[in-house]
Amino acid sequence: MLDKKIIRELKRIVGEDGVLDRREDLLLYEYDGSVERSLPDAVVFPRSTEQVAGIVRLTARGKIPLVGRGAGTGLSGGALAAAGGIVIGFSRMNKILEIDLENLRARVQPGVVNLDLTRAVEASGYFFAPDPSSQKACTIGGNVAENAGGPHTLAYGVTVNHVVGLEVVLANGEVVELGGSVSGSSPDSPGYDLTGVMVGSEGTLAIITAITVRLMRASEAVKTLLGIFESVNDASETVADITARAITPAACEMLDGLSLKAVEAATHAGYPLDAGAVLLVEVEGLREAVEVQAGQIDEVCRAHHAREVRVARDARERELLWTGRKNAFGAIGRLAPSYYAQDGVIPRSKLPFVLRKIDEIGRRHGFQIGNVFHAGDGNLHPLILFDERDQEQFRRVVAAASEIMRLCVEQGGSLTGEHGVGMEKREMMPLLFSDDDFAAMEKVKRVFNPDGRINPEKVIPLSKTCKEMTVRPVVMRRGD
Amino acid sequence: MPAATSLLEQLSGIVGATEVIVAPEELRRFSVDGKVPGAVARPGSADEVVEIVRLARSDRLALMPAGGFSDAQLGNIPRQLDVVVSLARMNQVLAYDPADLTVSVEAGATLAALEETLEAHQQFLPVDSPSSAATVGGILATHAGGPLRYGYGTVRDFTIGMQFVTGEGKIVKTGGRVVKNVAGYDLAKLMIGSLGTLGIITSANFRTFPVPPRTATLAAGFASLESALEMRRKIVHSVLQPRALDLLDREAARTLRGDTPEVEQTAWWLLVGVGGVEALVARHATEAEKLAKESSASSFLELAAEPERQMWEGVRAFRERLAARYPAMIVVRASLPLTQLGAWLKKAQEVAARSGLLLAVVARAGTAVGYACLLAKEAGRATIGKMAQASTELTHSAMSLGGRAVIEFVAADVIEVKQQCHVWGPTRQDFLLMQKLKREFDPDGVLNPGRYVGGI
């Protein structure tokens, strides 16, 4: 519990209406899009960097934990107050501070919704490349914290490739500018790449208060193909072959038969109901390149026994297919009372093998597993369907998930491609890293966040031996 | 510093006697800014690197990690230099999975050797750094790159994992071998561009890229910088997607192409490098020619095959080519907002003219990184003073235009320039954090002391 005096002081900084501390209000901030819950002691809504700095200074003496939060769409518990304390909600810091098209830059507050930035520049022919499926809700501050991906990061890179500078508040309340200025370019800034290490640190190093991003010129042409397959195996062989032939689509997504049924029932996007799997592949660029690539992809699909390869006829059909894909996680909620989403990554040549293994793991544990994922970069999202009310199932789903994670690591992959480690996968990190690796991460943390009160109990594990995930899976209905 | 014999013995105990160099005439080849090391050690494994770092900590030795020595003059004059740790023997490709477009390679592998491995599968790493003798570790530590960064980004954008030995002598791994990965802090970002001051890179993993089936380069000549930059602006904001977009002034063109009448008649060249299928290359050629006309270009050439290759080879190695003609030379590199590149280049012309120095300009026009090469036929105290003064002025000009500049190269004949100005420019507010990082990763200051930003 927080001292009443602290609450009064918080209200003095952000205004009476900017602080929540009643239990019924706090319950809304107990969860995010993930599997964990943790109740904060208060939530504050600053309007400016100065107010954030004020909050950080106020809470420094009591070493009160602070956690930044955007839209709460995260999938690993990154925005939860794991150790209690204060959640800093960025919903009032949602201004686009500057758009500088001539220099291909924008500067935004952390609470700006991802898609709003693209909306602000698309009429002029530009876009912000990272496009997580939750982009209609998730914030750029959250994207930076998690180093968010999305379907089109296959061609354009993830968030870190599009962030050139950050303004952050350090644990002592000091405001520091990292990397380039509004128009500068961080790779060339002399000195250590502090921006680069801050992106993807899951909010555990400092509180981000402003972000300078690159904008990109929209492509001349885009073509969306839907490859329809009888089996997941054929579809995954196709992806491995597209990669091996070094064809580089802008996006390459897979939906398996189970998820197709749910997606189609939810969105009526025109996905086939009787297919084993589909690949949603998009090519972008100049007309000439798009034509050639689309032809190559069509050819590879057919070489792997695609039943049919469709091309979206117009923008509306394309939009529908993407709406289906981006809302797929939510649609899966139709199939079972709960599901548990994984975020493993594997080398792309291993896709056919690993998907067969995941199916086996599901069967052995008695679960159906849906697969909706970024196939082109090997980023799997197996969705394990279960009933959370059944304690026995609940125990087994965690065991099955851990087995899938171990499989990804054994195959030369990683525990997370875009959702983050957060609270969820923290104790599995020893599968990937040694004590010395963690010690090096701790060093970085000490520099920025010496007493560890900024987003505590995330990313770096307590125990250096791997444990199972210690999570309590719940239903999720937000995007990935 | 301990006596050379004992240093020789200790290093030999770690890497073997044949892999230690102490002969003075050989050591001179490894000198940095006139400082000659006491020994060169060539470890064969990360474990041996660890042992060398431990020795350095206990005996207070200063280590300089080194690769191909192609960029060894970057940074401040070393505060202390005892042992050059040459990664030359650690040059193996550890794993190459062409079907996954990923490669894992030891830090001492040269870019040329790696390119050869990848070429067998029609793949490449888009790091066209100035010298292909450069090693993977050196490229990462100096964050080197070339014209292709316009189309592919820098090595920061396609490094997916790394192993390094910290100044404490610990082997640390970060990232992995998959193309998308957010598990743990991305320590590779800290290592890239850190000039070996936090750790010694021992291996790295990259994503690789397909070699385009065809390439061509469109070269447009201009009478004025404004016109060249107008065409640059049109391309950057168009749907065209060139791989490289570089700018050369007359002096740079002369160095690369010789004194042909065409070169003499042209003040600025804009080079548009394109790659892809035939139709794509043709489309770029047509549109670039149209944009060149609209921007009042005085000439327009299309280069392909050998002439194209030679031209980019020259652009990559322009510093070396210029240095061969001018013994007195420094290079100031500025990274600017796109809209300010022109202003900074004008400033460079004005400063050079005022100081009586010659100027050659190469710029990554598409990413607004300008290289102002200040040249003189003769070294000497007056030249050194002028160069120090001019580079300081250009550094400040870059900052006032919203960018940053560093002195990237100082030729041996004018090395005193480094004593007269900050090669990395003034430090900023985030410098305190950098100092703390340095203390955490290299508590005894054994790695490249004094050479980095703010004397780190």
Q: What is the DSSP string of A232-265?
A: HHHHHHHHHHHHHTT---SEEEEEEHHHHHHHHH
User: What is the pLDDT, as a whole number, of residue A471?
Assistant: 58
Asked if B380 reaches chain A (Cβ–Cβ under 8 Å), the answer is: no
- Give the CA distances from residue A205 to residues A75, B66, B97, B159, B433, in Å, rounded to whole numbers and listed in that order: 19, 32, 35, 22, 12
The angle that helices B278-294 and B225-236 make with each other, rounded to 10 degrees, is 140
State which H helix or E strand residue B248 sits in.
strand B244-249
Residue A426 inside a domain? The answer is: no
User: What is the pLDDT, as a whole number, of residue A186?
Assistant: 53
How far is the C-alpha of A307 from the C-alpha of A317, rounded, in Å? 20
Chain A segment 374-403 residues within 8 A of B by beta carbon are 374, 377-379
Closest residue of chain B to A195, computed from CA coordinates: B189
The answer to whether B269 touches B221, Cβ cutoff 8 Å, is: yes
* CB-CB under 8 Å, A429 with B172: no
Looking at the structure, do residues A241 and A386 belong to the same domain, yes or no? yes
Query: Given B153, B367, B433, which is nearest A447 (Cβ)?
Result: B433
Looking at the structure, do residues A241 and A341 belong to the same domain, yes or no? yes
**Shortest CA gap B284–chain A (Å):** 10
How far is the C-alpha of B39 from the C-alpha of B8, rounded, in Å? 7
How far is the C-alpha of A123 from the C-alpha of B317, rounded, in Å? 41
Question: What is the model's pTM?
Answer: 0.96
Name the residue with tokens 């009591």. A62
Chain B segment 307-346 residues within 8 A of A by beta carbon are 333, 335-340
Name the domain count of chain A.
3
Looking at the structure, do residues A316 and A391 belong to the same domain, yes or no? yes
- Give B-chain residues touching A433 at CB under 8 angstroms: 173, 183-184
Asked if B440 reaches chain A (Cβ–Cβ under 8 Å), the answer is: yes
Per-residue pLDDT band for A330 (boundaries 50, 70, 90) equals confident
b/e string for A271-287 if b means 16 or more Cβ within 10 A?
A: bbeebbbbbbbbbbbbe
**Shortest CA gap B194–chain A (Å):** 6
Looking at the structure, do residues A213 and A232 belong to the same domain, yes or no? no
Looking at the structure, do residues A279 and A304 belong to the same domain, yes or no? yes
Q: Which of B313, B316, B343, B318 is nearest to B329 (CA)?
A: B318
Number of C-beta neighbours around residue B5 at 10 A:
9
User: What is the pLDDT, as a whole number, of residue A394?
Assistant: 83
* CB-CB under 8 Å, A177 with B185: no
In order along its 456 residues, chain B shows pLDDT tens digits of 555 569 999 999 999 999 999 999 999 999 999 999 999 999 999 999 999 999 999 999 999 999 999 999 899 999 999 999 999 999 999 999 999 999 999 999 999 999 999 999 999 999 998 887 899 999 999 999 999 999 999 999 999 999 999 999 999 999 999 999 999 999 999 999 999 999 999 999 999 999 999 999 999 999 999 999 999 999 999 999 999 999 999 999 999 888 788 889 999 999 999 999 999 999 999 999 999 999 999 999 999 999 999 999 999 999 999 999 999 999 999 999 999 999 999 999 999 999 999 999 999 999 999 999 999 999 999 999 999 999 999 999 999 999 999 999 999 999 999 999 989 999 989 999 999 999 999 999 999 999 999 999
* CB-CB under 8 Å, A192 with B437: yes
* Domains, in order of start, for chain B: 4-86 (3.30.43.10), 93-210 (3.30.465.10), 214-311 (3.30.70.2190), 318-420 (3.30.70.2740)
Looking at the structure, do residues A320 and A304 belong to the same domain, yes or no? yes
Looking at the structure, do residues A123 and A263 belong to the same domain, yes or no? no
- Give A-chain residues touching B159 at CB under 8 angstroms: none
The mean pLDDT of A303-310, rounded to a whole number, is 97
Per-residue pLDDT band for A474 (boundaries 50, 70, 90) equals very low
Looking at the structure, do residues A138 and A103 belong to the same domain, yes or no? yes
Cα atoms in the Cβ-side hemisphere of radius 13 Å centred on A280:
26
The mean pLDDT of A52-76, rounded to a whole number, is 96
User: What is the pLDDT, as a whole number, of residue B259?
Assistant: 79
Whether the predicted pLDDT of A477 surpasses 60: no
* CB-CB under 8 Å, B427 with A104: no
Return the SS3 of A341. Answer: strand
Residue A430 inside a domain? The answer is: no
Looking at the structure, do residues A85 and A123 belong to the same domain, yes or no? no
Asked if B185 reaches chain A (Cβ–Cβ under 8 Å), the answer is: yes
Number of C-beta neighbours around residue A464 at 10 A:
15
* CB-CB under 8 Å, A417 with B180: yes
Whether the predicted pLDDT of A180 surpasses 70: no
The mean pLDDT of A189-216, rounded to a whole number, is 96
Which of B104, B122, B180, B408 best probes binding to A when mutated, by most A CB atoms within 10 angstroms?
Answer: B180
| DSSP symbols for A64-131 | --EEEESSS--SSSTTS-BTBSEEEE-TT---EEEEEGGGTEEEE-TTSBHHHHHHHHGGGTEE----
* CB-CB under 8 Å, B368 with A191: no
Whether the predicted pLDDT of A184 surpasses 70: no
Asked if B431 reaches chain A (Cβ–Cβ under 8 Å), the answer is: yes
Closest residue of chain A to B155, computed from CA coordinates: A187
Strand pairing category for B369-376 and B328-335: antiparallel
Looking at the structure, do residues A208 and A230 belong to the same domain, yes or no? no
**Shortest CA gap A273–chain B (Å):** 30
- Give B-chain residues touching A412 at CB under 8 angstroms: 176-178
Looking at the structure, do residues A251 and A376 belong to the same domain, yes or no? yes
Chain A segment 274-293 residues within 8 A of B by beta carbon are 285-289, 291-292
* CB-CB under 8 Å, A413 with B337: no
Rg over CA atoms, chain B: 22
Closest residue of chain B to A440, computed from CA coordinates: B172
User: What is the pLDDT, as a whole number, of residue A384?
Assistant: 95
List the domain range (segments joined by +) for residue A12.
Answer: 4-89
Reported ipTM exceeds the 0.95 cut: yes
Joined together, the tokens standing for residue A182 give 């509004």
User: What is the pLDDT, as a whole number, of residue A478?
Assistant: 37
* CB-CB under 8 Å, B122 with A217: no
* CB-CB under 8 Å, B172 with A181: no
Q: Which of B109, B154, B146, B153 is nearest to B128 (CA)?
A: B146
Joined together, the tokens standing for residue B257 give 């192409």
**Shortest CA gap B371–chain A (Å):** 12
CATH of the domain at A253: 3.40.462.10
Residue A477 inside a domain? The answer is: no
Closest residue of chain A to B184, computed from CA coordinates: A459
User: What is the pLDDT, as a whole number, of residue B266?
Assistant: 96
Looking at the structure, do residues A212 and A226 belong to the same domain, yes or no? no
How far is the C-alpha of B352 from the C-alpha of A439, rounded, in Å? 49
Name the residue with tokens 């020994």. B39
Whether the predicted pLDDT of A476 surpasses 50: no
What's CA B442's distance to the chain center, in Å? 24
Of the residues A165, A194, A217, the one at which a domain ends: A217
Whether the predicted pLDDT of A183 surpasses 50: no
- Give A-chain residues touching B172 at CB under 8 angstroms: 436-437, 439-440
Query: Given B181, B193, B241, which is nearest A417 (Cβ)?
Result: B181
* CB-CB under 8 Å, A217 with B239: yes
Of the residues A163, A194, A217, the one at which a domain ends: A217
Joined together, the tokens standing for residue A83 give 């150790």
- Give the CA distances from residue A89 to residues A51, A55, A107, B176, B355, in Å, rounded to whole numbers and listed in that order: 12, 12, 19, 33, 55
* CB-CB under 8 Å, B339 with A183: yes
CATH of the domain at A40: 3.30.43.10
* CB-CB under 8 Å, A374 with B178: no
Amino acid in position B17: A
Which residues, listed in sequence order, are joined to residue B199 by a DSSP beta bridge?
A: B166
Average pLDDT over chain A, rounded to whole? 93
